A = this chain, B = another copy of it.
Amino acid sequence: MGIKKIGERTVAFENPPSVLGSACVGGKKEGEGPLGGEFDILNEDALFGVETWEKAESKMQRLALSAALGGAGLEPRSLDFVFAGDLLNQCTASSFGMRDMGVPFFGVYGACSTMAESLILACMAVDGGFAARAAAVTSSHFCGAERQFRFPLEYGGQRAPTAQWTVTGAGAVVVGAGEAGRSPPRVTGFTSAKITDAGIRDANNMGAAMAPAAFDTLSAHFADTGRSPGYYDMIATGDLGSLGAELLRGLFSDAGMGLKENYADCGLLIYSGDSRDVHAGGSGCGCGASVLAGHILRAMRAGRLNRVLFAATGAMLSSVSTQQGESIPSICYAVSIENGAGGLKG
């Protein structure tokens, strides 16, 4: 049997899975941003009625998946698998978040690329014939991430201008066996992630660490598919932020292939430019996840966008690796989501 690959690193789904439902959840700051109206659920603080930030993050995952299922008229038991991940040590936002859903569980870790990674795995499970329906769920929480990766909030630490603001948010996407010509957006394929390390050691400059990974995967995608960047209505990176997005534009320009106005970064879409302390933009698993599950998939369902390449990047470091003087290995998964009956199949 031939495998479903085109080119070096791209998989073209045989029966592109349909996006049956999606939903996103955010905190106060996310609600005040330019995409505030596109969140399904917003909370007025960062606690969602529970006593710790970590428990709040788990609750966001639960709320996002329940809303995505509800919107699709589905029950949790209609899912064969859920793929979930987050930034907390040992990915506890996911294990505790999904604990009571009763859905067979796969935990994944791709740092801020986790929504793309989990969506790819969910689609492989569906297109491979292992699941009728599967979900991808991903989250992050500003307060939990600051405490874990940097300083407790009470410390009031100054943040570097290249630093980004971890999104308090979660996104869930439910996919199911697709039928050609059906109306929902369909995931037509993906380009896999190779670990890329450009030698960046500054953990306050993740955009610089991740931009080369985005370039690596996106250029592989265009080479494998024969598509040019102009094919897509939107190419969205997950959270490169202002500096990383500028670096990515530069890398493409150096390669003789410009990124046009169809290029966007979820970390730049989610907060206003003048929002206090955001600096280089939003970041975190919940950034790309909530912008995809809200803003982007809403626009696709409404026909305002028809061809989207969602390319979430991840910086695969930890506090310990930074303390040990290591550079930052980075990855990027690109997922092609399209309306209509077309596909990536060669």
Contact = CB atoms under 8 A, between A and B. Distances in A.
A121 B193 CA distance: 16
24 contacts: A1-B129, A1-B177, A2-B129, A3-B131, A4-B129, A52-B324, A85-B109, A89-B318, A90-B321, A92-B316, A96-B329, A98-B195, A99-B329, A101-B195, A106-B110, A106-B117, A106-B121, A107-B109, A107-B110, A107-B316, A109-B109, A121-B121, A128-B128, A148-B320
Question: Looking at chain A, what size class is its interface with the partner chain?
Answer: 35 or more
Contact of A14 (B89, B98, B129, B319): B129
A110 B104 CA distance: 12
Contact of A105 (B106, B148, B331): B331
A336 B202 CA distance: 45
Given A95-B317, A128-B130, 13 more contacts: A14-B129, A54-B324, A55-B324, A88-B320, A92-B317, A95-B195, A95-B331, A96-B326, A96-B329, A99-B195, A125-B128, A127-B128, A128-B129
Q: How many copies does the complex hold?
A: 2
A99 to B, nearest CB: 5
Nearest to A2: B129
A55 B320 CA distance: 10
B131 A92 contact: no
Nearest to A51: B324
A87 to B, nearest CB: 7
**Interface of chain A, helix or strand or loop or mixed?**
loop
Contact of A111 (B90, B102, B129, B148): B90
Contact of A103 (B98, B194, B318, B319): B194
Contacts of A138: none
A81 interface: yes
- The 10 A-B pairs of least Cβ separation, nearest first, read A128-B128, A95-B316, A104-B192, A90-B318, A107-B109, A89-B89, A91-B109, A109-B109, A99-B329, A89-B318
A124 interface: yes
A68 interface: no
A300 B1 CA distance: 27
A107 B105 contact: no
A11 to B, nearest CB: 5
B324 A105 contact: no
Contacts of A192: 80-81, 104-105
Contacts of A9: 104
A224 interface: no
